[in-house]
Amino acid sequence: RDEMIALVSTENMSGVESFVASMREAFSDNIGVRSDLGLVTIVGEGIGNRTTVQELATEALHDAQVTIKFTFTSRASVSFVVYSTDVDKGMTVAHDRFLSALPS
């Protein structure tokens, strides 16, 4: 059986309950809803094609004991799905790691 994961931010969404109900109606028992996940995303033109960016961010998150559930890239971003309780810490350590990697 194929599996698809869709991430939907509900932070600024009104009517979350009705949205979830409509998804359950459309996909019956084949949908799981989690509210304990968040994203740490690094954005920049061409950044998703540079493996060093993903490696540096992964290392920073690992060093800070931020659990990475999933990783995905696009041409302009690298995103890490983490527990929502770790989003702020993840953003801070990724930011700090990239700033410290810049030449002085």
Distance CA 21, CA 28 (A): 10
Say how far apart CA 15 and CA 49 lie, in whole Å.
Answer: 37
- CATH T-level assignment (fold) for domain 36-101: Alpha-Beta Plaits (3.30.70)
Instruction: Look up the pTM and report it.
Output: 0.79
Confidence of residue 102 (pLDDT cuts 50, 70, 90): low
Q: How far is CA 27 from the centre of its chain?
A: 23
| Planar angle of CA 87, 85, 37, nearest 5 degrees | 75
Task: Check residue 52 and give its pLDDT.
Answer: 85
15-48 tens-digit pLDDT: 888 888 888 888 776 777 788 899 999 988 888 7
Q: Average per-residue pLDDT in the chain?
A: 86
